[in-house]
Amino acid sequence: MHADLNIFRTAGAQAAHAARRQAVIAANIANADTPGYKARDIGTFRDHLAGTSLGTSLGTAMRSSRAGHLHGAVRSGAARVPQASSTAEDPNRNTVSVELEMMKSVEAKREHDRAVAIYRSSLNILRTSLGRG
């Protein structure tokens, strides 16, 4: 029942995005000493949301569903492929800064915590409205 409510879908998508970002950050830290490794990162949740059908259903972006619809081409969801980060290289051509990755890790944790808090709060509101809270 609650899976159809946008707030729960958005909170779930935000938590999943934070988990994906945390995995990319962990891979960067694991490869901090690998010669030639380029640090990667994924886009913000806002960018991800704007390019998905979830963002369209929330009214944050318009997306055509078939050729000729809205005078645009059919576009699938935004790519979630990690992209190279633009940080300075060290002598072994590695671009991983452990300090920067730790800061990104804290951002991803906060994003995940925020998503869980929104989910819990919305669930409590739903329970209260049904008289079960």
Give the pLDDT confidence score for residue 74 in this predicted structure. 46
Whole-structure pTM value: 0.70
- pLDDT per residue as tens, the chain (133 positions): 556 788 999 999 999 999 999 999 999 999 999 999 999 999 889 888 887 666 555 545 555 566 666 555 444 444 455 666 666 777 888 999 999 999 999 999 999 999 999 999 999 999 999 987 6
Domains of the chain: which residue ranges? 1-34+97-133
pLDDT at 38: 93
The Cα–Cα gap between 127 and 105 comes to 33
Find how far residue 58's CA is from the centre of its chain. 16
Distance CA(44)–CA(42), nearest Å, equals 7
What is the token pair recorded at 59?
Answer: 């009214």
Residue type, 127: R
The candidate with the shortest Cα–Cα distance to 112, out of 4, 6, 19, is 19
What pLDDT, on a 0 to 100 scale, did the predictor assign at position 50? 80
